[in-house]
Amino acid sequence: MEPFTTLTAKAAPLPRANVDTEVIIPIARLIGKKRGELGASCFLPWRYHADGSVDESFSLNQSAYQGAQILVTGENFGCGSSREAAVWALWDMGFRVILAESFGDIFRANCFQNGLLPITLSRRHLEWIFAELAAANTPQMTVDLRISRITLPAGRRLDFQIDAERRLALLEGLDEIELTLRSRAEIEAFEAREAKTRPWNCGIAPENP
């Protein structure tokens, strides 16, 4: 997994609540596709009209936000089906950070497992960001995970909170297995104690008395 420390990039507004995973990546678009091939179908129902033409009113289609790597959205982002491919599609579209009022629980966990940083902010702070993005000549922001701080386009700074273990995993690029193996010595010591004190728990037949 790629480490995440700090990112300075364009941010795109998506001021909608309850964005579900079927909109992020329609299930029909997963047939015959694999990770790395889903970006073109991300937000497909909103990016195009029924006749296949581009919907210019959709924020992610507007030239000011092309190439954005930070997505700013509303509450309950990533609700609905638990498909991990929703995170893959966002990643393939270029996003590395999602700012939202809240997230679907499984979607949020999938973000961390795939190196995508989900940050929860208050509605008031999100409204500040939406306003600054609309007014900025260049809608650029900085997200610094090392100090848990966001710098808005006009220079305003916001601090955010994130679980310490999740933060460490992103900073060092560790997946869940690699994070667990950091405690290998403690795990092996525990297993050795179990083998001596409760061998039946370790599949070891007790010695004959």
Report helix, strand or coil for 175: coil
Residue 58 and residue 147 in one domain = yes
Query: How confident is the prediction for the chain on average, in pLDDT?
Result: 90
- What is residue 144's predicted lDDT score, i.e. its pLDDT? 98
- Does the residue 1 lie in any domain? no
Domain enclosing residue 203, as ranges: 175-209
pTM: 0.85
Length of the chain: 209
Residue 103 DSSP label: B
> 34-65, pLDDT tens digit by residue?
889 999 999 999 999 989 899 999 999 999 99
> 87-129, pLDDT tens digit by residue?
999 999 999 999 999 999 999 999 999 999 999 999 999 999 9
- Does the residue 105 lie in any domain? yes
Residue 95 and residue 45 in one domain = yes
Query: Is the pLDDT higher at 63 or at 209?
Result: 63
At residue 209, does pLDDT exceed 80? Answer: no
Phi first, then psi, for residue 176 (nearest 5°) are: -65, -35
> The CATH number of the domain where 77 resides is what?
3.20.19.10
Residue 158 and residue 58 in one domain = yes
Residue 97 and residue 154 in one domain = yes
Residue 55 and residue 118 in one domain = yes
* Total of domains in the chain: 2
What count of Cα atoms within 13 Å lies in the side-chain half-sphere of residue 91?
A: 20
Residue 110 and residue 11 in one domain = yes
The DSSP H or E segment spanning 169 is helix 164-172
